[in-house]
Amino acid sequence: MVADLEHIPVLLRPTIDGLCVSEKPDGVFLDCTFGRGGHSRLLLSCLGQGGRLYALDRDPQAVSAMSMIEDSRFAGRQCAFADLEQALDQWGLDQVDGVMMDIGVSSPQIDQAERGFSFRRDGPLDMRMDPSVGESAAEFLNRADARDIKEVIKNYGEERFAVQIAAAIVARRQERPLTTTLDLAQIVAGAVRTREPGQDPATRTFQALRIHVNQELAQLKQGLAAAFKRLKIGGRLAVISFHSLEDRITKQFIEGLANPKSLQDARLRKLPIAEPSPCLKKIARIKPSAEEIAANPRSRSSVLRVAEKLAEVAHG
């Protein structure tokens, strides 16, 4: 079943090129979001016999797909990328030559109604990337008060009708609990008065709940910090984001280590203290080509940021 689920990897060649895999054929690389293995397979094809690729994913179906790669240079395990240091320790690895992250939901997750990610397919209102961990979207919506629901939809979906949607959800659950994706999609459609052309009224609400249920932004912040820590000097970090919240976090993380001077408190700049040195070098910001968008419309909003580690963070 896993093999039949189509997933077109986004910004495939630019990601592998950004990691400079061909220049380090015997290097050690980490794919933090295996998905269905598109990026991993191309990376493996660029490695020499001495190279190694390790992969993580918290989705059990993605972990199952790892078994389809029969290559002695490859190893994978179920793990959230925020916990990548624990995984590397279990593999006996100290540092790696490159780390890649493809943030957000994958096509197979969206396309399977039973996963509860899609407002176009009726299924249980779940949205968890690892269905064995945490509460589902339905459990959250059926227990949280209107204020908490509003905050999630507003902050993670950037939804201007968050108040109306939250009120409609609370009113509906007084009649009967929300249990399916179409339950939620219909409630949102009744509460959203206008929407951008071509966008479903439920788009932002579903995005917000998915981010909340999976703690995606917190995971990203922790994962970026851990990836930087475990990169070798000269190692590359490549991160693909799909919406402004993810990309903003990635951009600020890279900017903070590439230009630490810009983050210093203005009151400290006049003091006779050494200026902090850059620890990262910004390499590239890449958007998909017109040809890629035509072949895979889901790539339209993606952006790849690549950075190179220059030094460890100085302490004390």
**Residues 236 and 18 sit within 8 Å (Cβ to Cβ):** yes
Is 102 assigned to a binding site?
Answer: yes
* 111 annotated ligand-binding residue: no
d(CA 287, CA 65): 27
165 Cβ contact partners less than 8 Å away, ≥ 6 residues apart: 149, 150, 153, 159, 187, 188, 191, 192, 205
Alpha-carbon span 137 to 117, nearest angstrom: 10
Asked if residue 38 belongs to a known ligand binding site, the reply is yes
The residues pairing with 100 across neighbouring beta strands, listed in sequence order, are: 31, 238
User: Is 31 flagged in the annotation as binding?
Assistant: no
* Residue 81 annotated in ligand binding: yes
Q: Check whether 116 is labelled as a binding-site residue.
A: no
Residue 235 labeled ligand binder: no
Nearest to 116 by CA among 101, 103, 135: 135
User: Which residues belong to the annotated binding site for S-adenosyl-L-methionine?
Assistant: 37-39, 57, 81, 102, 109
User: Which residues belong to the annotated binding site?
Assistant: 37-39, 57, 81, 102, 109
